[in-house]
Amino acid sequence: MFFNSLDFALFLPVVFLLYWFIGRRQLYVQNLFLVLASYFFYACWDWRFLSLIFLSTLVDFTAGLALSKQDEKWKRRTLLWCSIVCNVGILGFFKYYNFFVQTFTEVFTLFGLRFHLATLKLILPVGISFYTFQTLSYTIDIYRKQLKPTQDFIAFAGFVSFFPQLVAGPIERATNLLPQFLADRTFNYAKAVDGMRQILWGLFKKVVVADNCAEVVNLTFSHPGDYSGSTLLLGAVFFAFQIYGDFSGYSDIAIGTARLFGFELKQNFSFPYFSRDIAEFWRRWHISLSTWFRDYLYIPLGGSRGSTLNRVRNVFIIFIVSGFWHGANWTFLAWGGLHALCFLPLLLRHKNRVHLDVVAKGGAFPSPKEALQMLLTFGIATLAWVFFRAESVHHALAYLFGIFQRSLFSIPSLSPLHVWVGVVVMIIVEWTHRDQEHGLQLNHARIGKPLRWFVYILLLFSIAFFMGDANPFIYFQF
């Protein structure tokens, strides 16, 4: 069931009404209903993989309770590793088994040895990377004694399977989301209205921006040899906007939907294309994943402390692992490695935490220096996205070589006006709200009711106009 489908348009209001009118003032009933609704939501994709969600839930719930009863260090560590091995083992089997088998076979072939291991026709369970990291954070926080385990299995199951963010995040921490399942919730009209605005903006970014950009992107990446350098560059730029509109659009819909049910999820995107360097970009892009790796991998490795060699090692580990998290393909490793190379100079010169505030704060326009910094950062991110989108490293290199030729300075052969309009509208709206949590967090003092409703109707009309078959979200494959 996709957020941009008719099925979800019917599912959401039914669940919303039942949740508030049947389960009001009864926390256990509300939580149980959310678990059942979430499992149904996931089952609409493939009911067989509900067993994996339940297994992860059961393992970490049990591990959490066991950790709270143990004081001996080796026993606590054993319980933690049981949780890690079980969760990462399931993730690794479904996501990386074929990759490792193929790589292992190719290495032996290079040495003239014939070695064959059979690959499996595995279906990657939707959302497995997201809910696996979510349950792992619960066990790790208990192990670190930063969180007390819950004895409410239904509340914990709700935390793991909460349908708005189940299949593509944000990756929530138990310290934020679990207490909300354990506390009474009452309907808040103002938050619900803001949630509807965020859903509307997320749908606009997905349907009007991302899906229309995809038309050009699919053409240029399918046949890069048929197009000029300028057209290929345009395809790369449109992919940058496609993946942003697609993934941040999903996050907006997820956060807005959660708000309808009385939950507050963490912001997952903070207008990353307005960043002035790569370090700022990663503080604003897929925040829930980057902070997860920071807290559970980068800092335990030593972070930016220690010798220069250790700092370089930690940077490459964090970005390579982040790339590998996205998929079992060398292209993702190359994408992570490129970002590591761009991030490293900032870290070594202690410039990685220079831009902590929003760009051009209090002003309408950036300074010439800020504009140049944003353009350069966007350019780096866009070229790196080529590896993310390409089917292989060879495909990515061929695409990049195709860009940097004489025809780069020609007029692009693909430049549909409606795609540009959607992108420009998104940029303008988000620039004017770059200090807010989302693009439609309107200031009522500055924007009157008639104008607000005009904006809403215009967005709804554009979404309805471009809505066709429900196109899957890109991050469903991760």
Catalytic residue positions?
326
The residue whose two tokens read 């949590």 is 437
Cα dihedral 33, 34, 38, 39 sign: negative
Summarize the chain as % helix, strand, coil (round to 5). 70, 0, 30
Nearest CA-CA partner of 9 in 474, 463, 475: 463
Residue 183 structure tokens: 């506390």
Dihedrals phi, psi of 260, to nearest 5 degrees: -65, -25
Nearest CA-CA partner of 227 in 395, 410, 379, 391: 410
Q: What is 175-212 written as a DSSP string? A: HHHHHHHHS-----HHHHHHHHHHHHHHHIIIIIIIHH
Long-range contacts of the stretch 118-124 (C-beta < 8 A, 24+): 122/93, 122/94, 122/97, 122/98, 123/46, 123/49, 123/94, 124/94, 124/95, 124/477
